[in-house]
Amino acid sequence: MNKHIRIIIISALTLLGVLCITSGIMYSSLQESNIEEKVLVVVEQKQISKEKEVDIKLKNFTIEVNTPLSVKIIDYLDSAVNDEVLARLKLDTSTVNVTEPGTYNYTITYKKKKYNGIIIVKAKETNPNTLQSITLKSVNINIGTALSTDISNYVIEPLTDEIKSTMFLDLSNVNVNKAGSYQYTIKYNNSIYTGTITITETQPTLSTSINETPDQNQQEPDNTIITPPTENQTQIN
């Protein structure tokens, strides 16, 4: 091969190598430039809101003996709470004995914290216008006699109008047109009392008057005493 041609080829290859090396250096330089570029990232701290403290106040109240306790928690609260809090409350009235007078504690729990309330169970007050019990009369009437609807006629104890208004008289089983013994009832103070009504036939009455005037047409009996003649008496013709 011609010496000049070889020189040209070598020169061309050399130039090509130089170009490749130069291109690689430039590419590497660009990569380093990109890597060294700083990126600013701003991270904001999330604000966590603190849960508002719940203020729970309970009622102290008084009930009478044998009054059932409410199962609604809201009936025991003396402060308003939202529905979310209300759903998480737990009521405990297990220490309250409603059958015996006394002072008892109950609790409501919220997030493991217990709140205490007081329930006073008292004996029922006696009303002067009420009777503990009543006693019914045994009534006797003649056949056909109308029955009285006044409850006082069937109860031995004295009754006020207020007490009578709470009574219910039932005479539906009594037949005044037929002689016999019947039962009637009076309902009072959640109790039913039973009495007896006896129907008797009317008996004829005899006159016992001593002032009656005698009948003028009635002949009075002859009260003359006739004595038979004796042997010594002389018969006159």
Q: Which residues contact 129 (CB under 8 A, 6 or more apart)?
A: 160, 162, 163
pLDDT reported for residue 11: 66
Going by pLDDT thresholds of 50, 70 and 90, the confidence category of residue 55 is confident
Region 21-27: mean pLDDT is: 63
In angstroms, the Cα distances linking 68 to 63, 76, 95, 123 are 9, 14, 14, 14
Q: pTM to 2 decimals?
A: 0.38
What would the pLDDT profile of 7-19 be if each residue is shown by its tens digit?
Answer: 666 666 666 666 6
pLDDT reported for residue 15: 66
Indicate the average pLDDT of the chain: 78
Q: Does the pLDDT at position 95 exceed 80?
A: yes
Q: How far apart are CA 189 and CA 149, in angstroms?
A: 19
Radius of gyration of the chain (CA): 60
Least confident of 65-69, 207-211, 233-237: 233-237
Is 121 within 8 Å of 97 (Cβ atoms)? yes
| Strands annotated E in 111-218 | 113-122, 138-142, 168-170, 180-188, 191-200
- Between β-strands 180-188 and 168-170, what pairing exists: parallel, antiparallel or unpaired? antiparallel
Nearest to 171 by CA among 156, 185, 189, 192: 185
pLDDT reported for residue 178: 93
What would the pLDDT profile of 144-179 be if each residue is shown by its tens digit?
Answer: 999 999 999 999 999 998 899 999 999 999 999 999
pLDDT reported for residue 53: 77
Region 227-237: mean pLDDT is: 41
pLDDT reported for residue 186: 95
